[in-house]
Amino acid sequence: MDYSHEEILEFVGRHPLFAVTMDKARAKTDLPKQLKEKGTLTYALDVKTKRARKKPREERSIWYI
């Protein structure tokens, strides 16, 4: 599912997260700055394989978008 920036910011507002990981394309938008203002760290992943994309979702402390 591809969430809008507004949906992500709303979710983080209701459920404070330590960090959010995202692909490089989304990391180049203003979303990381907006998340930082809410106190949430962001990480950009270079996801090239299906297996690599799956792994962050299995971790409970990181929300992958």
pLDDT in tens, 14-26: 998 899 988 888 9
Q: Is 45 helix (H, G, I), strand (E, B) or coil?
A: strand
* Burial class of residue 22, CB neighbours in 10 A (0-12, 13-18, 19+): buried
pTM of this prediction exceeds 0.75:
no
- Tens of pLDDT, residue by residue over 1-53, are 589 999 999 999 999 889 998 888 899 999 999 999 999 999 988 766 555 55
